[in-house]
Amino acid sequence: MDHSDLSLDSPPRREGDPGPAGAQANGEMIRLDNVYKTLGGKAILRGATLSISPGETRVIIGRSGEGKSVLIKHICGLFRPDTGEVYVDGADISRLNERELTPIRRKIGLLFQNAALFDSLNVLHNVGFTLFEERRLGESEIREQVLETLRRVRLGDILDKMPSELSGGMRKRVGLARAIIQNPKILLYDEPTTGLDPVTSDAINDLIIQLAEELRVTSVVITHDMVSAFKVATQISMLYEGRFHFTGTPGETRETGDAIIQQFIQGRSEGPLTNM
């Protein structure tokens, strides 16, 4: 399914433009309000404001070093903003302590760029890691749950395989299985197709769409891969100079006259985006 043919009735907007009063109470799944973050003396996020509705697949694009991964770490509570607020499922997580963050984090599944599998654990213990840690289920029950989750990501019984025995695409799928095993409400993808060939990348794109539909999750996808972005997104947002410069449907993104967007999606060296 390609989302790029969604209705273009509403015009693209600049993230950060004032929204309706009480928007957070009206069912947004994720909202960042005027978030600032400095790391190592460098300002990374400089007033980032973003609103994502339940069930949406929001793709976030932008040049390397713009703070896309920093943004994801704010959404899952690994980073706290210097100023501003971060809401997840109605809770202002920027004000929660570690104990209070635990139930929020259980709603979030995260697929890291390199899948971040534990090299010393087989697939069973990688995918079922949190279930083994919680000790609420017996091993046979966990085994069945892991098998069912692997089937969701189009993998068979590879429970005893080690990460070193898996291809790049299989590692991504195992990482994705680990992210969804506890039925999260939100899935965060950090460069899910990086390092994969075009055919495997497209299979991962199909999985992102499939899981969004089957699990009814809200998805946030960070990517430089515009083929992937245009295929999986319901909305695309560009992070530029620490703020969200543009948000629109895939169709609006393709057709915009914004020179910064066009230079980025066309991959041209000449234009307002300076060489870094």
Residue with tokens 């896309």: 68
The pTM for the full model equals 0.84
Task: Give pLDDT tens digits for 118-161.
Answer: 899 999 999 999 888 888 888 899 999 999 999 999 998 899 99
Q: Which CATH class is domain 1-7+26-107+218-266?
A: alpha beta
Query: How would you label 224-234 residue by residue, b for 16+ Cβ within 10 Å and e otherwise?
Result: bbbebbbbbbb
| Cα–Cα distance, 235 to 252 (Å, whole number) | 9
Question: In sequence order, what E strands does 24-80 have?
Answer: 30-39, 42-52, 57-61
The pair of three-digit structure tokens given for residue 97, joined into one six-digit string: 């302590």
More confidently predicted of 120 and 6: 120
Q: Where are the domains of the chain?
A: 1-7+26-107+218-266
Q: Starting at the earlier edge strand, list the strands of the sheet with 83-88.
A: 42-52, 30-39, 83-88, 91-92
Task: Give pLDDT tens digits for 159-176.
Answer: 999 999 999 889 999 999
